[in-house]
Amino acid sequence: MSRVVELARLMQGNEAAAEGALAAGVRFFAGYPITPSTEVAEIMAERLPRLGGKFIQMEDEIAGMAAIIGASLGGVKSLTATSGPGFSLMQENIGFAAMAEVPCVIVNVQRSGPSTGMPTAPAQGDVMQARWGTHGDHPIIALCPSSVREAYDLAVRAVNLAEKYRVPVILLMDEVIGHLRERVVPPPPDELEIVSRREPREAPADYYAYRAGADGVPPMANFGAGYRYHVTGLAHDEKGNPTNDPATAEALLLRLHDKINRNLDDILMEDSRSLDDAEIVVLAYGAAARPARQAVKEARQRNIKAGLYRPLTLWPFPTAGVERLARQAKTIIVPEMNLGQYRIEVERTVRGRAQVVGVNRVNGELMAPGEILQAILEVAQA
Partner 1 sequence: MMEELERYLRKDRFPHMWCPGCGNGIVLGCMLKAIKKLDLDQDRTVIVGGIGCSSRAVGYLDFNTLHTTHGRALAYATGIKLARPELNVIVISGDGDATAIGGNHFIHAARRNIDLTLVLFNNSIYGMTGGQYSPLTPAGKKATTAPYGTIEPGFDASELARAAGATFVGRGTTYHTELLTGLILKGIQNKGFSLIESVNACPTAFGRRNKMKGGTEMLLWQKENAIHINRAGQLSKDELEGKIVIGELHSYEAPEYTELYDKLIADVRQETPGPSIKPLKVK
Distance, in Å, from the CA atom of 180 to the CA atom of 60, rounded to the nearest integer, reads: 26
Interaction with partner 1 in 177-196: which residues (CB under 8 A)? 188
Q: 320: Cβ–Cβ under 8 A, 6 or more apart, which residues?
A: 264, 268
Interaction with partner 1 in 131-170: which residues (CB under 8 A)? none
Among 32, 39, 87, 96, binds partner 1 (CB under 8 A): 96
Question: Does the protein bind partner 1 through residue 230 (CB under 8 A)?
Answer: yes
Interaction with partner 1 in 58-87: which residues (CB under 8 A)? 58-60, 62-63, 66-76, 78
Kindly report whether the peptide bond that precedes residue 36 is cis, defined as omega within 30 degrees of 0.
yes
Question: Does the protein bind partner 1 through residue 219 (CB under 8 A)?
Answer: no
Residue 216: HSE in the Cβ half-sphere, 13 Å Cα cutoff? 18
Of 56-64, 123-131, 142-150, 359-367, which part binds partner 1 (CB under 8 A)? 56-64
If the CB atoms of residues 56 and 192 are measured against partner 1, the closer one turns out to be: 56
Question: Does the protein bind partner 1 through residue 377 (CB under 8 A)?
Answer: no
CA angle 20, 32, 313 (to 5 degrees): 40
Question: Does the protein bind partner 1 through residue 5 (CB under 8 A)?
Answer: yes
CA angle 285, 291, 292 (to 5 degrees): 60
Q: Among candidates 302, 309, 300, 317, which has minimal Cα distance to 281?
A: 309
Could you tell me the smallest distance in angstroms from the CB atom of residue 175 to partner 1? 26
Question: Does the protein bind partner 1 through residue 1 (CB under 8 A)?
Answer: yes
Read off φ and ψ for residue 35, nearest 5 degrees. Answer: -70, 140
Could you tell me the smallest distance in angstroms from the CB atom of residue 70 to partner 1? 3
If the CB atoms of residues 114 and 226 are measured against partner 1, the closer one turns out to be: 226
Of 105-113, 136-144, 220-228, 326-334, which part binds partner 1 (CB under 8 A)? 220-228
> Which residues of this protein are in contact with partner 1, per CB under 8 A?
1-7, 9, 28, 30, 49-50, 52, 54, 56, 58-60, 62-63, 66-76, 78, 92-93, 96, 188, 223-226, 228-234, 241-242
